[in-house]
Structure 1
Amino acid sequence: MLDRLQIIKQRFDEISDLIIQPDIISDQKRYVQLNKEYKDLKALAEKRDEYLKLTGNMEEANEIIADGSDAEMVEMAKMELDEAKKRLPELEDEIKFLLIPKDPEDAKNVMVEIRAGTGGDEASIFAGDLFRMYTKYCEDKGWRTSVVDMNEGTSGGFKEVIFEVTGDDVYGTLKFEAGVHRVQRVPQTETQGRVHTSAATVMVLPEAEEFDVQIDMNDVRIDFFCSSGPGGQSVNTTKSAVRMTHVPTGLVAQCQDEKSQHKNKDKALQVLRSRLYEMELAKKQEIDAAKRTSQVSSGDRSAKIRTYNYSQGRVTDHRIGLSMFDLDGFMNGNIHKMIDELQLVNNTEKLKESEY
């Protein structure tokens, strides 16, 4: 482990020198890549320093205890040694997890698409609840959210809502939210108090940069149309909404959230690029899945991953069998523990693989 940490420290020092060079700063793509690598390696470099300091202190404490000439120093050394012995296995585990090869997609921003599934109006209301849950969670994380497109339900919520999330390691955090979310509750419109089951599908697409996916604009059909829904005087009078169709694949992306046609066009292109990128990523994940069966899969939009049971105040993630009983808090964005557990299970699986 120390040998690997020494190599990482050398690379960290190398990048520390590189990212302040004028030619690197002027090369945006190279600078972004190196800056990301710098942040990843910084955590490991700091853990290495802590590890070396800790083991050094343990050696020093053992020498003082072995010498035994100063009773007071011996007592202090024993206390320090006990604390260090308690910390050392924790630190080693932290380093092992940091040494797990990271998915290069994890650092990317994302496009989140929530679509109402079975359940009619209640499914649309639930899709709206999920949108609120995620936006509150993102706000708590200090991430920025921006609505790209929405199609409101007839009784509230959304038939479909697409929003962008930007911040640190967004895809790596949210990717396990992809799949079918099921809700069991008595709808507001239900007069006899019967529990209904509805569903919504969540897709989490890593946002593709221009250098990730090259789109030939000759392959894209662009249509302009009037926005629908709330939006003031310009709605239904100005063709500011944009729909893009990638002819070779049939993929469609649209945006009508901005008043500017130009801004809508940029956002629609961003969504289209992310969807094309996700297609390629899905193929890669399929190949990876054939090599190993991960308990916490990501990207399978047909898999039922979680149930929200309102009568029992319970939310259950079926992949890891974890149930939480603070449903109100969960729906208000307090989903940190669930996401942490999903990441922990996934990292533990990766750690086991790396040991064989």
Structure 2
Amino acid sequence: MFDKLEDILIRLEEILRQLGEPGTAEDAAGFQQLMKEQAELQPIADTYLAYKKNKETISDSLELLEGESDEEMREMLKEELSEAKKKDEELERELKILLLPKDPNDSKNVIVEIRAGAGGDEAALFAAEIYRMYVKYAESRHWRTEMLSVNENGLGGFKEATFLLSGNGAYSRLKYESGVHRVQRVPETESGGRIHTSTITVAIMPEADEIDFHLDLNDCRFDVFRASGNGGQCVNTTDSAVRLTHIPTGIVISCQDEKSQLKNKEKALKVLRSRLYEMELEKQHDEEARLRRSQVGTGDRSEKIRTYNFPQGRVTDHRIKLTLHKIDSIMNGELDELIDSLTAADQAAKLANLKESA
């Protein structure tokens, strides 16, 4: 590990030297690549330098303690030494986490699919609320939201919705959201005051471009139809809506949000490419899972991951057995405590796997 850390210091020094050269900025692509690499290596280098400095503090404290006879000074040195040793353990663990293999999709934008499951209109209403929860979270992180397709139920709920969240680290923050989300509450239409349980399914996919996944258009069939709104009323008089069918897999994507047929076609292709890319990732994930089991799932749509219990004001994530009694703030997009806990659990599982394979 420490040889690798020393190599990182050397590489970072070389990057900073290149960035300081006058001609480097003229090569825009090369300059961006250097900046990206610096951003990845700088936190590791900073932590490693802090680790080395703390090691010196431990060494100095031991040396002073050995030659010190004054009892009061010895107690002070022992306290400093104890704090430095505790910090040493924390920094070493942080370094191990920083050196864990990076998910190549972490920096990507995400396409989110939300589908109402069991529970009829109540499930559709909850699907719309979860959509708004993610939009508010995106706003808090200054990400951009773009609706790709939506199928409403006429009561303000979503039978299904597909949208794009664009921003720094979007996939890294939301990749643990895939799965079944369950809601327990008294629906507004329930006269007897009984608590109902409904479910929705969330799928998180890294946005795939042509480099990630080549989509052969010969495998696709495009059909156009007239877009319609709730209850079947026509929202425009041209055949602008697009239905895209991927023949090998049978996947069907419909887009009618745009007035332009071309824009609807582009959106449908974007969703299809990401869906197929996710299928490839799932195959890889299943293969890796046979070798090591990660504690926190990031892809199984059938896994019940979370319960939102409104009468008790709690949200429970079943994967890490975490319960937070702050349902209002979570539904308002305050997801960082949940996401940070899931990330920490995933990192701990990966560190444990490293120890087992060492």
Per the shorter chain, which TM-score range?
A: 0.7 to 0.9
Distance in 1 (CA, whole Å) between partners of 2:124 and 2:299 is 22
Are residues 26 and 116 of structure 1, via their aligned partners in 2, closer, same or farther at CA, if it must alter by over 3 Å? farther
Partner-residue secondary structure (3-state), 1:56: helix
Partner-residue secondary structure (3-state), 2:320: coil
Distance in 1 (CA, whole Å) between partners of 2:9 and 2:294 is 31
Distance in 1 (CA, whole Å) between partners of 2:207 and 2:244 is 17
Q: TM-score, normalised by structure 2?
A: 0.87
Maintained 8 Å contact 1:18/1:24: no
Distance in 2 (CA, whole Å) between partners of 1:50 and 1:201 is 44
* 1:5 alignment counterpart: 5
Distance in 2 (CA, whole Å) between partners of 1:348 and 1:107 is 21
1:127 is displaced (CA, Å) by 0.2
Distance in 2 (CA, whole Å) between partners of 1:84 and 1:68 is 18
| Alignment pair present for 1:185 and 2:180 | no
Are residues 7 and 88 of structure 1, via their aligned partners in 2, closer, same or farther at CA, if it must alter by over 3 Å? same
Are residues 13 and 267 of structure 1, via their aligned partners in 2, closer, same or farther at CA, if it must alter by over 3 Å? farther
Q: TM-score, normalised by structure 1?
A: 0.88
Q: Deviations over 1:131-154 (max 9, x none)?
A: 111111122222222111111122
Q: Deviations over 1:7-31 (max 9, x none)?
A: 2223333444567887897575x77
Distance in 2 (CA, whole Å) between partners of 1:35 and 1:247 is 41
Are residues 353 and 25 of structure 1, via their aligned partners in 2, closer, same or farther at CA, if it must alter by over 3 Å? farther
| Alignment pair present for 1:204 and 2:198 | no
Tell me the amino acid that sits aligned with residue 253 of structure 1. Answer: I
Superposition map of 1:104-143 within 5 A: 104-143=104-143
1:158 is displaced (CA, Å) by 0.5
* 1:164 alignment counterpart: 164
Are residues 35 and 165 of structure 1, via their aligned partners in 2, closer, same or farther at CA, if it must alter by over 3 Å? farther
Maintained 8 Å contact 2:18/2:24: no
* 1:220 alignment counterpart: 220
1:98 is displaced (CA, Å) by 0.9
* 1:332 alignment counterpart: 332
* 2:265 alignment counterpart: 265
Q: Deviations over 1:281-302 (max 9, x none)?
A: 1111111111122231121111
Aligned pair count reads: 352
Unpaired segments of 5 or more residues in structure 1? none
Are residues 55 and 210 of structure 1, via their aligned partners in 2, closer, same or farther at CA, if it must alter by over 3 Å? same
Distance in 2 (CA, whole Å) between partners of 1:315 and 1:75 is 46
Maintained 8 Å contact 1:243/1:253: yes
Moved more, 160-169 or 52-61: 52-61
Maintained 8 Å contact 2:24/2:31: no
Distance in 2 (CA, whole Å) between partners of 1:35 and 1:114 is 35
Q: Deviations over 1:145-173 (max 9, x none)?
A: 21111111222220111111122222222
Partner-residue secondary structure (3-state), 1:147: strand
Q: Structure 1 vs Structure 2: percent identity of aligned residues?
A: 52
Distance in 2 (CA, whole Å) between partners of 1:80 and 1:253 is 62
Q: Deviations over 1:208-262 (max 9, x none)?
A: 12111111222222233333338xxx93223333332222222222333333333
Distance in 1 (CA, whole Å) between partners of 2:346 and 2:7 is 26
Moved more, 200-209 or 313-322: 313-322
Q: Deviations over 1:39-97 (max 9, x none)?
A: 22221011112122222344345555556599999998777655433422221221111
Distance in 2 (CA, whole Å) between partners of 1:345 and 1:39 is 24
Tell me the amino acid that sits aligned with residue 203 of structure 1. Answer: A
Superposition map of 1:9-20 within 5 A: 9-16=9-16
Tell me the amino acid that sits aligned with residue 177 of structure 2. Answer: E
Unpaired segments of 5 or more residues in structure 2? none
* 1:283 alignment counterpart: 283
Distance in 2 (CA, whole Å) between partners of 1:113 and 1:146 is 12
Are residues 241 and 16 of structure 1, via their aligned partners in 2, closer, same or farther at CA, if it must alter by over 3 Å? farther
* 1:176 alignment counterpart: 176
Distance in 2 (CA, whole Å) between partners of 1:227 and 1:19 is 52
Tell me the amino acid that sits aligned with residue 237 of structure 2. Answer: T
Tell me the amino acid that sits aligned with residue 328 of structure 2. Answer: D
Q: Deviations over 1:270-318 (max 9, x none)?
A: 1111011011111111111111222311211111111111111121111
Distance in 1 (CA, whole Å) between partners of 2:203 and 2:186 is 26
Distance in 2 (CA, whole Å) between partners of 1:59 and 1:328 is 50
Partner-residue secondary structure (3-state), 2:161: strand
